[in-house]
Structure 1
Amino acid sequence: MAAYYVGELVSLMFMAIALGMDAFSVSLGLGMQKIRLKRIALIGIIIGFFHMLMPFIGILLGQAISTQIGEYTVLAGGLLLFGIGAQMVFSAFNHEAPQLAQPAGIGLLFFALSVSLDSFSVGLSLGLSDVRTVVTLLMFGTASMILTWAGLIFGRKVHGFLGVYSEILGGSILCGFGLHVLFG
């Protein structure tokens, strides 16, 4: 029984890191703007909050849907995770770099919302599979906050060659979890 819980925590940890990789890759580019450390701390906290809020909404919606679709919930959850991961991988190859918003005021909120939208979809699929909500949300928020801080600080030092690779890694991990849910 303890091995089951440890396995579930490890799976959630890897999923949290995979979701945070999107914030990490975008933060690398944002960090090249030489943002002050105080602002970096605030950006990480806001993104961490959104990475808890969006999956929470998704989990609630997924639990409501799961009562409607019954036995198809595992299939839907696995396909959704795989689809999100595949979208992350394919978007990494889109070479048209979007214009980054300024990390202040409403721009910071839109920035946090944009990098946490994929966590809504993951929350939706997790809501279909009856996951431990509080632990999941804390792991998602903490991982994305730390990875955002790392991306912003690392972006101050290095110029953007890791951005695409981290998004590919995150998408690959989500694809793997989706396949594991479907066939595991």
Structure 2
Amino acid sequence: MAGIQIGEVVSLLFMAIALGMDAFSVSLGIGMQKIRLKRIAFIGIVIGIFHVIMPFIGIVLGQAISSSIGSLTTLLGGLLLVGIGSQMVFSAFNHEVPQVIKTTGIGLLFFAISVSIDSFSVGLGLGLSGVKIALVLILFGAASTILTWLGMIIGRKVRGLLGVYSEILGGSILFAFGLYIIFG
């Protein structure tokens, strides 16, 4: 009995890390902007909260919504990242274009939704499997928070090395990850 519970925890932990990797990847690009450590900490917490809210909603609605909506939400999340990444690359060449990615207010909410939307899809599936909801939510939230912090801190260090090219690299990372979500 204990082996089954440990196995379930390990499986959910790997799933939480896999879902948090998109937050890590996107955070690399975001971290290349001039962001203070205090703000990085706050952003990581917000991402973690959304990685709790989205799968919870998915789990609750898992039996009520068909699986076809899961692929639609993933597609929309990927398209959002492609658009944000494209804008970052273009704004690196045209300094008159305002930044789309803002780590405050509504921009932070869009960012959090875009990296946690796949957690909603996973939550739909988990809602049908009868998994321990509290365990899932704690693991998903903690993994995404930690991976977001790690990505932003690494991105911040890389920015110092790359200078003006960091925005192009950051936008390229977001664009590529969006394409991966759409076609991967």
Query: 1:7 maps to what in 2?
Result: 7
Within 2, Cα distance between the matches of 1:64 and 1:48? 25
Query: 2:124 maps to what in 1?
Result: 124
Residue by residue, what CA displacement relative to the aligned partner does 1:34-82 show, whole Å, maximum 9, x if unpaired?
21001001100000000000000000111446xxx9xxxxxx6xxx7xx
SS in 2 for 1:97: helix
Query: 1:152 maps to what in 2?
Result: 152
List alignment gaps of at least 5 residues for structure 1: 70-75, 176-184
SS in 1 for 2:62: helix
Equivalent positions of 1:49-128 (< 5 A) are 49-64=49-64, 97-99=85-87, 101-128=101-128
Within 1, Cα distance between the matches of 2:158 and 2:101? 20
Within 2, Cα distance between the matches of 1:147 and 1:4? 27
Query: 2:164 maps to what in 1?
Result: none
Within 2, Cα distance between the matches of 1:151 and 1:2? 34
Within 2, Cα distance between the matches of 1:98 and 1:136? 33
Within 1, Cα distance between the matches of 2:105 and 2:86? 19
Alpha carbons 1:63, 1:130 under 8 Å: kept: no
Residue by residue, what CA displacement relative to the aligned partner does 1:84-108 show, whole Å, maximum 9, x if unpaired?
9x97xx99xx7x9343511111110
Query: 1:31 maps to what in 2?
Result: 31
Within 1, Cα distance between the matches of 2:8 and 2:64? 22
- Size of the aligned set, in residue pairs, is 152
Within 1, Cα distance between the matches of 2:29 and 2:19? 17
Within 2, Cα distance between the matches of 1:23 and 1:62? 23
Query: 2:135 maps to what in 1?
Result: 135
Letter matched to residue 51 of structure 1: H
Within 2, Cα distance between the matches of 1:108 and 1:18? 22
Letter matched to residue 54 of structure 1: M
SS in 2 for 1:56: helix
Judged with a 3 Å threshold, the aligned counterparts in structure 2 of structure 1 residues 120 and 61 are, in CA distance, closer, same or farther, namely same
Within 2, Cα distance between the matches of 1:98 and 1:139? 32
- Pairwise CA distance, 1:147: 0.3
- Pairwise CA distance, 1:15: 0.3
- Pairwise CA distance, 1:118: 0.4
Percentage of matched positions with identical amino acids? 62
Residue by residue, what CA displacement relative to the aligned partner does 1:106-148 show, whole Å, maximum 9, x if unpaired?
1101110111100000000000111000010000000000000
List alignment gaps of at least 5 residues for structure 2: 88-99, 160-168
Query: 1:179 maps to what in 2?
Result: none
Query: 2:20 maps to what in 1?
Result: 20
Q: TM-score, normalised by structure 2?
A: 0.71
Within 2, Cα distance between the matches of 1:102 and 1:54? 21
Within 1, Cα distance between the matches of 2:63 and 2:114? 24
